[in-house]
A and B are shown apart, each in its own frame.
Chain A
Amino acid sequence: MNAHTSADTERVEKLQGLGSSRRRVEDARFTQGKGNYVDDIKLPGMLFGDFVRSPYGHARIKSIDKKAALAVPGVVAVLTAEDLKPLNLHYMPTLAGDVQAVLADEKVLFQNQEVAFVVAENRYVAADAVDLVEVEYDELPALVDAFRAMDGNAPLLRDDIKDKKEGAHGPRRHHNHIFHWEEGDEASVNRALADAEVTVEELISYQRVHPCPLETCGCVASMDKVNGKLTLWGTFQAPHAVRTVASLITNIPEHNIRIVSPDIGGGFGNKVGVYPGYICAAVASIVTGVPIKWVEDRIENLTATAFARDYHMTGRLAAKRDGTITGLHCHVLADHGAFDACADPTKFPAGFFNICTGSYDIPVAYVGVDGVYTNKAPGGVAYRCSFRVTEAAYLIERMIDVLARKLDMDPAELRLKNLIRKEQFPYTSALGWEYDSGDYHTAMNKALEAVDYKTLRNEQARNRAAFDRGETRSLMGIGIAHFTEIVGAGPIKNCDILGLGMFDSCEIRIHPTGSATARLGTISQGQGHATTFAQILATEIGIPADDITLEEGDTDTAPYGLGTYGSRSTPVAGAATAMAGRKIRAKAQMIAAYLLEVHEGDLEWDVDRFQVKGNPEAHKTMKEIAFSAYNQAIPGLEPGLEAVSYYDPPNMTYPFGAYVCVVDIDVDTGVTDIRSFYALDDCGTRINPMIIEGQVHGGLTEALAIAMGQEISYDEIGNVQGGNLMDFFLPTAVETPFWQTDHTTTPSPHHPIGAKGVGESPNVGGVPAFSNAVNDAFAHKGLTHTQMPHDHWRVWKTAQRLGLTG
């Protein structure tokens, strides 16, 4: 290739391809309020649906009286389970192999469960009628403590499956047991623990939280009775999967269902699952023949659609006195709520929790997970992380600190001692994952240098001495995390959802004048796909990103794909995009060879053109090639310039990073002040550094929210607490600290452009960094672990328990 001239540089810059901090093309409409969300859709004759919900956590329904509601002018229908039974739609399959009541069938199992669906001319009439549906209940004892779920006298929650001994993932041991799942060699781990010079054990709970996207869930269902086609606009993170599932549930042929995800205001996993509102809206539209809109309000979103986490993890580490870790044992009690509606690949009932050996070279490991039913909302989605990876990272990163405390060793030093070494990649973990690439020591050392770690520890030592002398009531904590994500589900050989292989796709059409339209099987919810995927293509096919329109989310036009969650868009659809681009380029090369009257092998690609080797003046740009593709008869070649790629990744990708958080704690009030936060992310090849930085900022802010305040809890009779934005902690700019971002670049060896996915890393690594910092502030006073969230009162209680509040 030629030496780069300024003209070359100009051509590269004009493309705004890989590595360019191209401005987000989506923002022109979002910042002007011109987005088109589900609730913006208005169709002629459209009716509105609204739910009657259970006030109880556990109760038997004695009767439902619709009369007063139906008498309200403008009310069209009130649906209950009895109305859905003849259609066999009173239960729907969940993604986890369970069933979930669409409308409560004889019993309610969590507060705010859907009991009846009111259809009315507008949402105001619907809300009035909801108040008038009279439901009589017999309250039953509620089960809210997961640790009591499998007690002998625990109440039976699921009457509908009480005789089912075999669950979706093996035998059930108790009427409230969902599954037991395990990986690893428990006998070897037990030996390692027995032989260990040092062991630690800790119960580490990760509280129930909620993704809380700004836009709540909703849909518009429209059945066209003339052509028999059902169209469903909705907040779907996986529109194609929704279409297939909808077809299987309703028996409407798949070609007669169109699913459209319009603009989506954040998903974070909350919009992966199928919710009763979608089914009820579709049924109501099929029955009435007019469009039906259903949109949740904020309280409904927080209390009824999918939660995240709620994992109680008992970790044990075996180690030598020098800090070498020799084994990890972990048991998880997983609270899945009233129905098992986790959104995991089907063969992974605990997601990829077995990534819990983290960034460390641990020779033997075992993990066992038991899922149980409780009187809480169903869900268990991956809230801005790959499936259960945040839980896994939290476990191991906390356990490392617990071990460091026991060994009286610096937690950074203990990490450096056990991190997987660069030369060990590709690395097969004790729990079976093949880590594709990594350079952990470089990242960790860069982070420690950037924050001047030694100086921080010295300052902390002075702070502790001053505290003990009574000169300050503030304690300083330093939290470190080195996390490994596992994203890009995934290889079809081990990842499917309800039998749907987790590939993804891209279809490209180059238009005669040299612009392009690309369609993908994913759907952006704020990630900026229209910006970044156009950049991948710009580099692959030499057409400026600005001349490439990207479309997603309409199953009538986009190629089939499994959607956007678990940071899979770039690893899977991004790879499909690059591969489709390469197919375009291959054909373009044949066309260029014909036009330049040379052999294909005599051509070389240069930014936006094919040129004759050694004679760059003889060239054809992609724009010229495109025109010829459509307008010139080329012997042996079909006209046109299009390509489609369905990409089944050979492996996951493994982004990683090193984070350091410094917190100052006011011991008298429990108020925490995040003094600084440094985040180094390695997501392989960086497509758009500005978008990466934005993703990291957003993910860290959510991590801050989770670690320092978010919680959906239940009182002893099953009343949900924290189901509104007064109590559920969404940080504002005031509570959010400055984020110092940094990176290293270790490309994925198997991804076509080496990219790994980044959107969820900051949540995975952020939560343990915050939590470790809070725990570290009290470590010298004997604290090994205190549970999240680290809100003011819990931090103060921790200080009180340690005798520091005087």
Chain B
Amino acid sequence: MISAAFDYHRPGTLGEAIGLLTEHDGTAVVIAGGHSLIPMMKLRMATPEHLVDIQDIAELSGIAVSSDMIEIGATVTQSDLIASDELFSVCPILRETSLQTADPQIRNLGTIGGNVANGDPGNDMPAIMQLLDADYILQGTGGTRTVKARTFYEAAFFTAREEGEILTSIRIPTPPFGHGHSYQKQKRKVGDYATAAAGVILTRSAGTCTSASVALTNVADTPLWAEAAAKALLGSDLGAEAIGEAVDAARAITEPASDGRGPADYRTHVAGIMVQRAIQTAISRVA
């Protein structure tokens, strides 16, 4: 449980950080909270020669909320997300999800940028970003580009981010006022990854579902945006039949691993239950 040797860099600007990544091309990785990377290094499953710590880069921090856009800097911690009342008032699912992620000590250091950029299918925030149709802002020597969370994830720990690029911030379209939300996560204990988890946001007008989004955590090697599940809800009365269809549609796209959390068939089953409960909770919260 001791990592291989590495050099540690702590640049003060984004330019310096990108320069370091370029200079040590292929042997440097970005570190922020370190709560995914450091355990991997201690197991020697990751053996970077250079760590580029981005915590001192002021432009990567901060939360900005407007009526149509939420922008969250990469080094904002899970605790910051929980603490922001402004964020909670427009997008409460971020607090609800963060409170179910890891434990308070980890949340004090673990960052949103690391959580979404690492590509770990066990992380909670990637599915939430897909749910909310977030954009990831990536910056490298070639400039800045935007990638949708819904297309970012390719396989476990493989993403659309190029080596040398840093995920600098996340932009989320502000969800409609009065939406209902829920993130339902089943886990074995505090700090565990989900056996299966589901996030839902939806709106309702005159008894009819006017918008819906559904996403799943840790039931495939990437987060899953459950488009068909949302379609089953859209335009429906959000009754038992529509919910049942959404649950079936969500289960149909899962491909969980069999592991200590249970065999694949069980985890698929639980994913459906989480979707069902998330929809029901979201409905109960619609303004």
State the A residues within 8 Å of B (CB).
123-124, 127-128, 131, 297-299, 668-671, 709, 721-722, 726-727, 729-732, 734-735, 791-793, 796-797, 805
Compute how far the CA of A6 lies from the CA of B5 in the bound complex, rounded to whole angstroms: 69
Q: List 16 A-B contacts (CB under 8 A).
A: A123-B2, A131-B44, A668-B273, A671-B186, A732-B103, A732-B190, A734-B190, A735-B189, A735-B190, A792-B261, A792-B270, A793-B261, A793-B262, A793-B263, A793-B266, A796-B270
Q: A732-B189, A791-B188 are in contact. Are A128 and B261 (CB under 8 A)?
A: no
Chain B residues with CB under 8 A of A726 = 191-193, 260
B188 contacts A792, CB within 8 Å? Answer: yes
Q: Which residue of A lies closest to B260 (CB)?
A: A727
Near A by CB (< 8 A), chain B positions 1-45 give 1-2, 4-5, 44
CA–CA, A734 and B5, complex, Å? 37
B5 contacts A128, CB within 8 Å?
A: yes
Residues in chain B within 8 A of chain A (CB atoms): 1-2, 4-5, 44, 103, 186, 188-193, 195, 259-263, 266-267, 269-270, 273
Q: Is the CB–CB distance between A721 and B260 below 8 Å?
A: yes
Closest to B272 in A: A668
Alpha-carbon distance A669/B262, docked complex (angstroms): 11
* Alpha-carbon distance between A299 and B269 when the two chains are bound, in angstroms: 31
Complex Cα distance, B270 from A797, in Å, reads: 12
Give the chain B neighbours of A670 by CB distance below 8 A: 266
From A124, A299, A732, B191 is in contact (CB under 8 Å) with A732
Q: Are B195 and A792 in contact (CB under 8 A)?
A: yes
Contact between A669 and B189 (Cβ–Cβ < 8 Å)? no
C-alpha spacing A730/B189, complex, angstroms: 9
Which 7 A-B pairs have CB atoms at the shortest separation, nearest pair first? A793-B262, A127-B2, A297-B1, A727-B260, A793-B266, A734-B190, A732-B190
Task: For the complex, give the distance between the alpha carbons of A172 and B248 in Å.
Answer: 56
B1 touches A298 (CB 8 A): yes
Beyond A299-B1, A734-B190, list 15 extra A-B contacts (CB 8 Å): A124-B2, A124-B5, A128-B4, A297-B1, A298-B1, A669-B186, A726-B192, A726-B260, A732-B189, A792-B188, A792-B261, A792-B270, A793-B261, A793-B266, A797-B266
When distances are taken between beta carbons in the complex, the residues of chain B under 8 Å from A722 are 260
Determine whether the beta carbon of A734 is less than 8 Å from that of B262: no
A605 CA to B195 CA in the complex, in Å? Answer: 65
Query: Within the complex, what minimum Cβ distance (angstroms) separates A670 from chain B?
Result: 8
Closest-CB distance, A786 to chain B (whole angstroms) = 15
User: Chain B residues with Cβ under 8 A from A123's Cβ?
Assistant: 2
Please judge, given known A-B contacts A128-B4, A298-B1, whether A734 and B269 are in contact too, CB under 8 Å: no
Complex partner residue of B188 from A297, A668, A709, A805, CB under 8 angstroms: A709
| A206 smallest CB distance to B (angstroms) | 19
Q: Using A123-B2, A127-B2, A128-B5 as known contacts, say yes or no to A792 and B189 having CB atoms under 8 A apart.
A: no
Q: How far is the CA of A671 from the CA of B269 in the complex (A)?
A: 13
Closest chain-A Cβ to B261's Cβ sits at a distance in Å of 7
> Is the beta-carbon distance between B269 and A796 smaller than 8 angstroms?
yes
Which residues of chain B are near A669, meaning CB under 8 Å? 186, 270, 273
Question: What total count of A-B pairs have CB within 8 Å?
Answer: 59
Q: Are A729 and B262 in contact (CB under 8 A)?
A: no
Binding site secondary structure of chain A: loop
Q: Which residues of B contact A131 (CB under 8 A)?
A: 4, 44
Q: Closest CB of chain A to B183's CB: distance in Å?
A: 16
Q: Are B189 and A729 in contact (CB under 8 A)?
A: yes
Question: In whole angstroms, how far apart are the Cα atoms of A734 and B2 in the complex?
Answer: 30
Complex Cα–Cα for A734 and B191 (A): 11
Please, which residues of chain B bring their CB within 8 A of the CB of A298?
1
* Chain B proximity of A734: nearest CB distance (Å): 5
Residues on B with C-beta less than 8 A from A730 are 189
Report Cα–Cα, A127/B44, bound state, in Å.
10
Q: Which residues of B contact A124 (CB under 8 A)?
A: 2, 5
Q: Do the beta carbons of B44 and A734 come within 8 Å of each other?
A: no
Of the candidates A299, A668, A732, A792, which one forms a contact with B262 in the assembled complex, judged by CB atoms under 8 Å apart? A792
Alpha-carbon distance A654/B192, docked complex (angstroms): 39
B269 / chain A contacts, CB cutoff of 8 Å: 796, 805
CA A131 to CA B4, docked complex, whole Å? 10
Residues from chain A with a CB closer than 8 A to the CB of B270 are: 669, 792, 796
Q: Are A734 and B260 in contact (CB under 8 A)?
A: no
Q: Which residues of A contact B44 (CB under 8 A)?
A: 131
Q: Give Cα A671 to B270, complex, Å.
A: 10
Min Cβ gap A555→B in Å is 31
Closest chain B residue, CB of each to CB of A734: B190
| Chain A contacts for B5, CB-based, 8 A | 124, 128
Q: Measured between C-beta atoms, what is the minimum distance from B227 to chain A in Å?
A: 25
Which residues of A have CB within 8 Å of B192?
726
**Bound Cα distance from A505 to B236, whole angstroms:** 78
Chain A residues closer than 8 Å to B190, beta-carbon distance: 732, 734-735
Which residues of chain A have C-beta atoms less than 8 A from B195's C-beta? 792-793
Task: Give Cα A297–Cα B44 distance, bound, in whole angstroms.
Answer: 14
Least Cβ–Cβ distance between B144 and chain A, in angstroms: 36
Min CB distance, B210 to chain A, in Å?
29
Tell me the complex Cα distance, A796–B188, Å.
13
Which chain B residues border A793 with CB–CB below 8 Å? 195, 261-263, 266-267
Closest chain-B Cβ to A27's Cβ sits at a distance in Å of 23
Residue among B191, B193, B259, B260 with the highest chain A CB neighbour number at 10 A: B260
Contact partners of A791 in chain B: CB under 8 A: 188, 262
Report chain A residues within 8 Å CB of B188: 709, 729, 791-792
A721 neighbours in B (Cβ, 8 Å): 260
Q: Which residue of the partner chain A has the closest CB to B193?
A: A726
Q: Once the chains bind, are A731 and B189 in contact (CB under 8 Å)?
A: yes
How far apart sit A791 and B192, CA to CA, in the bound complex (Å)? 14
In the complex, what's the smallest C-beta–C-beta distance from A324 to chain B, in angstroms? Answer: 42
- How many angstroms between the C-alpha atoms of A793 and B266 in the bound complex? 7
Q: CA of A668 to CA of B277 in the docked complex: distance in angstroms?
A: 11
- Tell me the minimal C-beta distance from B146 to chain A in angstroms: 34
A330 to B158, CA, bound (A): 53
Chain B residue nearest in CB terms to A296: B1
Docked Cα-Cα span, A394 to B273, in Å, equals 33
CB A127 to nearest CB in B, in angstroms, measures: 4
Min CB gap B246→A, angstroms: 16
Query: Shortest distance in angstroms between B198's beta carbon and chain A's nearest beta carbon?
Result: 12
With a CB–CB cut-off of 8 A, which chain B residues contact A128? 4-5
Question: Chain A residues with Cβ under 8 A from B263's Cβ?
Answer: 793
What chain A residues lie within 8 Å of B267 (beta carbons)?
793
A193 → B minimal CB distance (Å): 37
**B262 to chain A: which residues have CB within 8 Å?**
791-793, 796
Smallest CB separation, A730 vs chain B (Å): 8
Q: Smallest distance from the beta carbon of B158 to chain A beta carbons, Å?
A: 22
Residue from A727, A729, A792 in contact with B186 in the complex, judged by beta carbons closer than 8 Å:
A792
CA of A245 to CA of B191, assembled, Å: 42
Check A796–B266 contact: CB distance below 8 A.
yes
Nearest-CB residue, chain A, relative to B47: A131
**Please, how many angstroms separate the alpha-carbon atoms of A666 and B263 in the complex?**
18
A711 to chain B, nearest CB (A): 8
Chain B residues, Cβ within 8 Å of A671: 186
Shortest CB distance B251–A (Å) = 13
Q: Which residue of B lies closest to A671 (CB)?
A: B186
Cβ of A706 to closest chain B Cβ, rounded Å: 14
**Residue of B whose beta carbon sits closest to that of A721:** B260
| Nearest chain B CB to A732 CB, angstrom units | 5
Closest to A124 in B: B2
**Cα–Cα, bound, A734→B99 (Å):** 13
Q: How far is the CA of A729 from the CA of B191 in the complex (A)?
A: 11
* Minimum Cβ distance to chain A for residue B43 (Å): 8
- Of all chain B residues, which has the CB nearest A666? B273
What is the minimal beta-carbon distance from B138 to any residue of chain A, in angstroms? 30
CA–CA, A127 and B42, complex, Å: 10
Measured in the bound complex, the distance between the Cα atoms of B267 and A721 in whole Å is: 18
List, in ascending order, chain B residues with CB within 8 A of A796's CB.
Answer: 262, 266, 269-270
Q: Can you name the residue of chain A whose Cβ is closest to the Cβ of B262?
A: A793
Query: CA of A670 to CA of B270 in the docked complex: distance in angstroms?
Result: 9
> A608 to B1, alpha carbons, bound, how many Å?
54
Chain A residues near B261: list those with CB within 8 A: 792-793
The answer for the CA separation of A671 and B188 in the assembled complex, in Å, is: 9
